[in-house]
């Protein structure tokens, strides 16, 4: 368990679940990049499990479930890009378009491969988006 | 901004997105009660916006979107209940069945009302589940 | 055709389709465990066909379709558990929570195996639920 | 036949829920017109509840849920028409095309109205289909 | 590039996207057989790619995606058949029922095979439907 | 009927349905902006019908169906943006990111309003995308 995990676990112990990370300024106005991240963790975990297994049935199922999970990553990222981010965010973070384009392309690529490096790259790109997202919340 | 939010925001600034809160030992093995919580926050936010608005079109749309979000809450909770929790967890937390039953019933009830107290009760029940979830992770 | 099927077919001939088996007092108020049963029959049939076939394409498709059908079983059972059953039913049938938990777990397990014994166990558990369901209707 | 089957068969004779009506001769080969019927019962029940209510929120939700249920009726009927019925059935029941066309059109019409007469007509048409369906099973 | 493609490309260059090919007099009143055709082209393309590949992972994914695309073909055709076509069309084109039945059966068959001849037959049947569709628009 | 419609109708009469407008080099490799355009036409048509009607039930249903159609517009546009367009296209059409961002935002906005001007703006933005799309096909 990494240090940061311990810290978070400690914090969680105090008051984990109520914490509303995400606020809302639109009709369905609650956004949280965690939705994309959780599905992307699933994608990478499936890639790993696929590589660790010799069971043909298991591997066939893994490919199918990975397809669905990667689709959910794309969906959650697209929603963030179109629905959450505003022109003023773009001005401050001009890399946003390219970042989302690459991240959703990585999600697509992670359907086509069981290389966990692609799953990890996807997680890294979502991490970049997450950092920007929370910075805009502090603004 | 509450103290706990500041602490979390501070922690997030250091290394927010990589943190894999959730691991599991099953094929699609990543679980995180945050999925249910995020949708439940949306449910409560929509209830609030419904009450704050006089626009009939907006209110019709709010009812529809609330229906979908509450459905997602139920789905995420059901998945946790059936897929994540094991007999050994039940032994330690005998209240789990009742807790999930009530929480999913609250999600159903939050479709039928725009009373934010029901949305809040749903969030509280998810908070209870979340606490237990993370305790089983520390085990 | 088994005897019982003939008997039922005879019964059906008299008044099959109008019969509204299930009514309820809620907005989408029609419940019927037949929905879960039909999908579970599909799951078991696909397990059998998978085992009877040597065609790789067919088997790949069978695994995929089984995944979807088992998901539908879980969904229909979860809806019954949360939406149909009430505290007074729980009092009379205290085994309900455990029964639904096991049945939905069996549905999950039937994704991971092509052993028809698991499909049959799932059907048996749905049969138990069905018996209780119709008893509560007679109450 | 196991004891439990006999007991269930006895129960079934009163109100036959357990019965495996449907057999399978195709990859996902389990068909049962009960799937369409159950959703159509829901459609008609919602029309009735809509008419019995003065609550605007309830009525808005009823319209939305009716839309979804009527869609499911159409889906289940289309699947029966295309996937289950074969040219030899058409020869024997030349009215099948027209019957399915009318029934799916009634399902569409039941979206547009809260007149329970349309919901009942839909149920009657599904009853006709059901009778033919079970006759082809006896063949 | 065939002559007809060039002509269409030329026409497209002038004013392609505004052209509203399809209108109708019902609530969701826009129909266009292009929706079924595009998915059917995808089905045939996947069959071809499946045959051209030796990569087991790719082929497993191809089977899965083909299943989904063929399902969309069926859905779009069913919607046209039930929702767009009216009794007066049937009178003028009495072959409509049989044509849609065959086309949706071909879509189902194209799930079960990677023979591009089946994909092409499906496209041909959709072409027949498309011709009739646009003739009814000129009426 | 505008001239261009007549020309297209004439062309359609010769060989409409076989024409495979779109091919690609990826697994589900068929793209066509017509998919987004057809749904956007539906969005605008529903806005018009909403405004032309006084029937409360009809208007409630219109709002709901518009929501779904606008969602499909977003989905089809996102798929084009992430899956079809490549870095070399971006180099030649540097406006692509902004164009897709605006178009998907217009789709979102068309959920929130029944002003057909928003529906038309969405169609215009899809037209721009379509022109670029077909230019990249000629390359």
| Interval D1-19: pLDDT, tens | 444 344 333 333 333 333 3
What confidence tens digit (pLDDT) does each residue in A104-124 have? 999 999 999 999 999 999 999
> Residue B137 CB: number of other CB atoms within 10 A?
14
> What predicted TM-score, i.e. pTM, was given to this entire model?
0.84
CA distance B6 to B114: 30
Chains F and D touch (3+ CB pairs under 8 A): yes
Q: What is the pLDDT of residue B81?
A: 97
How many Å lie between the alpha carbon of F111 and the closest alpha carbon of chain E? 14
D138 with C61: Cβ contact below 8 A? no
* Residues of B whose CB is below 8 A from A119: none
Q: What confidence tier does A138 reach under pLDDT thresholds 50, 70, 90?
A: confident
User: pLDDT tens-digit profile of D29-62?
Assistant: 799 999 999 999 999 999 999 999 999 999 999 9
The CA distance from A65 to the nearest CA of chain B, in Å, is 7
Q: What is the DSSP letter of E107?
A: H
pLDDT tens, E62-90? Answer: 999 999 999 999 999 999 999 999 999 99
Helical packing angle, F96-112 and F34-52, nearest 10°: 30
Q: Does domain A23-138 have CATH number 3.30.70.920?
A: no
Whether pLDDT at B21 is above 80: no
The predicted pLDDT at position B10 comes to 37
Q: Which residues in chain D have their CB less than 8 angstroms from residue B60's CB?
A: 60
Could you tell me if D104 lies within 8 Å of chain E, comparing CB atoms?
yes
- % of chain D surpassing 90 pLDDT: 77
Burial degree of F89 (CB within 10 A; 0-12, 13-18, 19+): middle
Q: What is the pLDDT of residue A29?
A: 73
- Tokens at C130, concatenated: 């069905």
What secondary structure letter does DSSP report for E25? S
Q: Which of D1, D27, D42 sits opposite C65 (nearest CB)?
A: D27
Interface check for F69 against chain A (CB to CB < 8 A): the answer is no
| DSSP-based three-state secondary structure for A1 | coil
Among B1, B3, B17, the residue to mutate for chain A (most A Cβ within 10 A): B17
- As to burial, measured by CB atoms within 10 angstroms (0-12 exposed, 13-18 middle, 19+ buried), residue C1 is exposed
Q: Which residues contact C90 (CB under 8 A, 6 or more apart)?
A: C96, C97
Find, among D104, F107, F77, D115, the residue nearest to E83 by Cα.
D104
Whether the CB of D97 is below 8 Å from some CB of chain E: the reply is yes
pLDDT > 70: what percent of chain C?
79
- The hierarchical CATH code for the domain C22-138 is 1.20.120.400
Closest CA to E84 of E40, E32, E21, E19: E32
pLDDT at residue F130 tops 60: yes
* Nearest CA among F36, F33, F43 for reference residue F111: F43
Cβ neighbours for F39, distance < 8 A, ≥ 6 positions apart: E30, F69, F70, F72, F73, F76
Q: Do A5 and B15 touch (CB under 8 A)?
A: no
The pLDDT > 70 percentage for chain A reads 79
Q: What does residue E131 show for φ and ψ, rounded to 5 degrees?
A: -60, -45
How far apart are alpha carbons E114 and E39 in whole angstroms? 15
Residues on chain A touching B24 (C-beta within 8 angstroms):
45
Please state whether at least 3 CB pairs lie below 8 Å between chains B and C. Answer: yes
Residue C1 in this model has a pLDDT that exceeds 80: no
**Alpha helices (runs of H) in A1-139, residue ranges in sequence order:** 3-14, 34-52, 56-79, 87-92, 96-112, 116-138
Q: Kindly tell me the sign of the dihedral angle through the C-alpha atoms of E39, E40, E43, E45.
A: negative
Query: Which of D83, D85, D73, D78 is CA-nearest to residue D135?
Result: D85
Specify whether the CB–CB gap between A22 and A31 falls below 8 A.
yes
Is A52's Cβ below 8 Å from some Cβ in F? no
CB atoms within 10 A of CB C90: 15
pLDDT digits (tens, 9 = 90+) for B2-18: 433 443 333 333 333 33
- pLDDT for residue E43 is more than 80: yes
Beta carbons of A112 and F78 less than 8 Å apart: no
Please list every residue in chain D whose beta carbon sits closer than 8 Å to the beta carbon of residue C75.
none
Nearest chain E residue (CA) to D81: E101
Inter-chain contact A126–B11, Cβ cutoff 8 Å?
no
Residues of B in Cβ contact (< 8 Å) with A45: 23-24, 29-30
- Interchain CB distance below 8 Å, E27 and D112: yes
Using CA atoms, how far apart are residues F38 and F105, in angstroms rounded to an integer? 17
**Do E and C share at least 3 CB pairs under 8 Å?**
yes
User: Quick one: A138 exposed, middle or buried, by C-beta within 10 A (0-12, 13-18, 19+)?
Assistant: exposed
List the subunits that have 3+ CB pairs under 8 angstroms with D: B, C, E, F
Closest CA to A62 of A1, A20, A13, A116: A116
> Which chain B positions have a beta carbon within 8 Å of F58's beta carbon?
none
Window 12-51 of F, Cβ < 8 Å to E: 12-23, 27-30, 32-35, 37-39, 41-42, 45-46, 49
Q: Where does the pLDDT of residue E29 fall: very low under 50, low under 70, confident under 90, or very high at 90 and above?
A: confident
CA distances from F27 to D18, E45, E48, E119 (A): 43, 8, 10, 16
Instruction: Tell me: pLDDT of D23 over 90.
Output: no
Tell me, what's the pLDDT at D70? Answer: 95
Does an interface of 3+ CB pairs under 8 Å exist between E and B?
Answer: no
Dump pLDDT digits (tens) for C38-76: 999 999 999 999 999 999 999 999 999 999 999 999 999
Per-residue pLDDT of B44-60, as tens digits, reads 999 999 999 999 999 99
Which alpha helices (H) appear in chain E, and where do they start and end?
A: 3-14, 34-52, 56-79, 87-92, 96-112, 116-138
Q: Closest to A134 (Cβ–Cβ): which among B16, B62, B123?
A: B16
- Residue found by looking up tokens 């003739």 in the block: E135
List the single residue in D82, D101, D112 with the smallest CB-CB distance to E105.
D82
Name the DSSP class of A29: -
Task: List the domain boundaries for chain E.
Answer: 23-138
C-alpha dihedral over F122, F124, F125, F127, to 10 degrees? 120
Contacts of A121 (CB under 8 A, 6+ apart): A106
Contacts of B63 in chain F (CB under 8 A): none
Place of tokens 């777990």: C105
Residue A92: count other Cβ atoms within 10 Å of its Cβ.
11
Establish if B9 touches chain A: CB-CB under 8 angstroms: yes
Instruction: Locate the chain A residue with the closest alpha carbon to C114.
Output: A57
In angstroms, the separation between the Cα of residue A31 and the nearest Cα of chain C is 26
Question: What pLDDT digit, counting tens, does each position of F74-109 carry?
Answer: 999 999 999 999 999 999 999 999 999 999 999 999
Write the pLDDT tens digit of every residue in F32-69: 999 999 999 999 999 999 999 999 999 999 999 999 99
Distance from CA of F52 to the nearest CA of D (A): 16
How many angstroms separate the Cα of D76 from the Cα of each of D24, D70, E97?
16, 10, 18
Min mean pLDDT across A12-21, A123-132, C24-33, D76-85 is at A12-21
Among B29, B70, B73, B78, the residue to mutate for chain C (most C Cβ within 10 A): B78
pLDDT at C129 over 90: yes
DSSP state of E136: H
In whole angstroms, give the CA distance from residue A92 to residue A88.
7
Nearest CA in chain E to A111: E61
- CA distance linking residue B46 with residue B53, whole number of Å: 10
CA separation for the pair B2, B11 (Å, rounded): 14
**Chain E nearest-CA residue for D26:** E112
**pLDDT tens for residues B95-124?**
999 999 999 999 999 999 999 999 999 999
Q: F61: which chain D residues are within 8 Å (Cβ-Cβ)? A: 63, 67, 111-112
Residue E96 in this model has a pLDDT that exceeds 80: yes
Contact D34, D101 (CB under 8 A): no
How high is the pLDDT of residue B139?
66
Which pLDDT does position F87 carry in this prediction? Answer: 97
């Amino acid at each position: 368990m990494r240090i940061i995990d311990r810290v978070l676990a400690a914090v969680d112990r105090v008051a984990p679940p109520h914490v509303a990370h995400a606020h809302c300024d639109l009709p369905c106005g609650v956004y949280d990049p965690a939705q994309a991240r959780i599905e992307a963790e699933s994608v990478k975990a499936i890639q790993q499990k696929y590589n660790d297994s010799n069971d043909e049935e298991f591997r066939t199922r893994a490919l199918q479930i990975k397809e669905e999970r990667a689709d959910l990553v794309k969906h959650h990222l697209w929603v963030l890009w179109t629905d959450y981010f505003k022109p003023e965010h773009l001005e401050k973070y001009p890399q946003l378009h390219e970042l989302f384009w690459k991240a959703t392309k990585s999600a697509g690529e992670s359907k086509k491969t069981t290389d966990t490096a692609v799953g990890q790259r996807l997680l890294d790109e979502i991490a970049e988006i997450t950092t920007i997202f929370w910075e805009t919340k502090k603004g």
